């Protein structure tokens, strides 16, 4: 993804076969209803959360009463919005002998089923979702040091081409 300012970009293939099959079924339902099958969103989280996210996927955790949405997974259409969440949480990022240094931050790019009944609305700045079966982490991004403030939207058609999220055979990569 040439517009994302890091050389450390990893395609994620971590879903179990059953979870991926359920995700694809949700996507087919969305497509058959005449909607885009899925959209892409950025998800920032402190580095201390990423071990669990990479092993088990995003999970809805937390206590009831976290804003109007309750326990949910927050994701943003804008790269710059998610950057702030990469740093929150009070974790000491990195360690002295890491190739990434002590100021490492991580972000995910999620593929999310386009289902307004589950809180997903294309073009919305932030989507808040509690149903993890409609979310798949597709890319894992690692940043060394400070992340530049760039204006990049995941669901802008021009940026989808830059990000490699569109191919010639399908409107959106599956």
User: Using CA of residue 160, residue 163, residue 165, residue 166, what is the dihedral sign?
Assistant: positive
Per residue in 50-72, pLDDT (tens digit) is 888 888 888 887 655 445 556 78
> By the 8 A CB rule, do 75 and 44 touch?
no
Rounded to an integer, the average pLDDT of 91-110 is 78
Position 157 scores a pLDDT of: 58
Predicted TM-score (pTM) above 0.85: no
């Amino acid at each position: 993804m040439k517009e994302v300012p890091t050389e450390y970009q990893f395609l994620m293939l971590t879903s179990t076969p059953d979870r991926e099959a359920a995700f694809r079924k949700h996507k087919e339902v969305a497509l058959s209803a005449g909607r885009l099958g899925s959209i892409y969103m950025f998800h920032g989280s402190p580095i201390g959360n990423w071990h669990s996210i990479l092993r088990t996927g995003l999970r809805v955790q937390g206590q009831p009463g976290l804003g109007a949405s309750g326990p949910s997974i927050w994701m943003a259409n804008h790269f710059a919005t998610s950057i702030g969440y990469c740093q929150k949480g009070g974790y000491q990022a990195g360690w002295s002998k890491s190739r990434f240094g002590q100021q490492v931050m991580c972000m995910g790019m999620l593929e999310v089923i386009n289902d307004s009944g589950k809180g997903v609305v294309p073009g919305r700045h932030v989507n808040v979702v509690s149903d993890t079966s409609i979310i798949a982490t597709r890319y894992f991004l690692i940043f060394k040091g400070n992340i530049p403030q760039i204006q990049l939207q995941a669901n802008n058609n021009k940026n989808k081409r830059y990000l490699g999220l569109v191919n010639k055979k399908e409107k959106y990569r599956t």
